[in-house]
């Protein structure tokens, strides 16, 4: 094994089994069971530089010392590996993911993260500045400001989706799980969406249980999954009498979130979004401002919840289902304490307005 080779482990391992912990001086202090088995020996007590180049370890140490995660990739025996290092109080944690042999990633992870960070730093200045300026605008100018805000939200959505798609392709998606009331979340979203869609001539129907239906989930990514399907349904709406149905069912230990529309339908022959990354399946998506990231992300997020995405339909509409296991529990190190809700959305920014920014009219973005 060369020094630049990422540690090898067998596919199908659980997250905790594919992890190692190093002390501040670079000595390996703990190793996951499957990772140890894949190496064929116990590396505990050895230095990380016995497995990775000194330059890579030095760059990793500098990054995590500044509070920045450090992703890196490699290949061993024809399989691709991705890893990401995170700083601990007195050391470094390295998470390793084994990938089946596949095409080269469409997006470079480091470049995507850099671009997303630069875009978000600019948005953090522009959005408050726009809000302050709006207090001095007349009605016509206010509508133009709303158009500008929608454009900034679209840019925020694009940068976030680009970064997360790159992370998904490179096996570096970071998940933060907590106990989520899925039924309550669906009700909250439907109550906010219904009047917005009604103003567009779209009727939102719901079939959501009143009982609490809890599961372990990354709340923000769950919201983005549902809103992405809603956005697709809005984009596919017919010229008149559009109807979207949001339903939640529980059966045999599985929750199913279903979004149904009566739009232009689903063509299996044309649909390549999940297998051929980031392709748009309909020319009208381009006019709606979509970049084609959405469904690839929904599938990636569903898999990280040990679930799946299923899409069926015909000329009369599309049925998209997110399947989630009710009894699945994530590794303890990926759980949020209590009911804390981590969000990458800035203070005062509505996720619905961000995730539906390619389909909602500018009037919804007035201050």
Q: What is the pLDDT of residues 98-153, one digit of tens each?
A: 665 455 566 688 888 888 889 988 998 999 999 999 888 998 899 999 999 999 99
Low-confidence ranges of the chain (pLDDT < 50): 1-15, 76-78, 101, 270-291
Tens digits of residue pLDDT in 182-229: 999 999 999 999 999 999 999 999 999 999 999 999 999 999 999 999
- Residue 221: its H or E element: helix 219-235
| The model's pTM | 0.68
pLDDT of residue 267: 58
pLDDT of residue 348: 75
pLDDT of residue 266: 64
Give bridge partners of residue 169 from the DSSP assignment. Answer: none
- Residue 163: its H or E element: helix 139-169
pLDDT of residue 208: 97
């Amino acid at each position: 094994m060369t020094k630049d080779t990422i540690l090898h482990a067998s596919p199908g391992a659980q997250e905790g089994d594919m992890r190692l912990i190093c002390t501040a001086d670079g000595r390996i202090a703990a190793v996951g069971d499957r990772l140890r088995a894949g190496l064929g020996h116990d590396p505990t007590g050895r230095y990380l530089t016995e497995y990775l180049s000194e330059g890579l370890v030095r760059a990793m140490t500098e990054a995590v010392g500044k509070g920045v995660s450090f992703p890196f990739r490699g290949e061993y025996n024809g399989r691709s590996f991705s890893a990401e290092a995170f700083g601990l109080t007195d050391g470094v944690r390295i998470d390793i993911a084994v990938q089946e042999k596949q095409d080269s990633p469409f997006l470079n992870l480091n470049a995507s993260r850099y671009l997303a960070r630069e875009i978000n730093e600019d948005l953090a200045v522009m959005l408050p500045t726009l809000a302050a300026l709006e207090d001095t605008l007349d009605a016509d100018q206010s509508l133009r400001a709303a158009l500008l805000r929608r454009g900034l939200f679209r840019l925020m959505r694009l940068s976030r989706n680009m970064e997360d798609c790159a992370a998904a392709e490179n096996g570096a998606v970071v998940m933060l799980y907590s106990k989520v009331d899925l039924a309550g979340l669906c009700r909250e979203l439907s109550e906010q969406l219904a009047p917005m869609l009604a103003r567009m001539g779209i009727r939102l129907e719901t079939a959501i249980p009143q009982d609490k239906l809890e599961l372990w989930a990354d709340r923000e990514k769950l919201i983005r999954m549902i809103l992405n399907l809603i956005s697709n349904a809005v984009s596919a709406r017919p010229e008149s009498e559009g109807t979207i149905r949001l339903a939640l069912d529980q059966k045999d230990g599985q929750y199913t979130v279903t979004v149904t529309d009566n739009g232009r339908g689903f063509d299996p022959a044309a649909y390549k979004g999940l297998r051929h990354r980031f392709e748009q399946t309909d020319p009208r998506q381009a006019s709606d401002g979509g970049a084609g990231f959405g469904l690839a992300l929904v599938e990636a997020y569903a898999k990280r919840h040990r679930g799946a995405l299923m899409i069926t339909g015909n000329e009369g509409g599309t049925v998209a289902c997110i399947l989630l296991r009710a009894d699945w529990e994530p590794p303890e190190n990926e759980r949020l304490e209590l009911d804390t809700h981590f969000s990458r959305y800035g203070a005062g920014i509505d996720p619905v307005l961000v995730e539906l920014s390619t389909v909602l009219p500018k009037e919804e973005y007035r201050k």
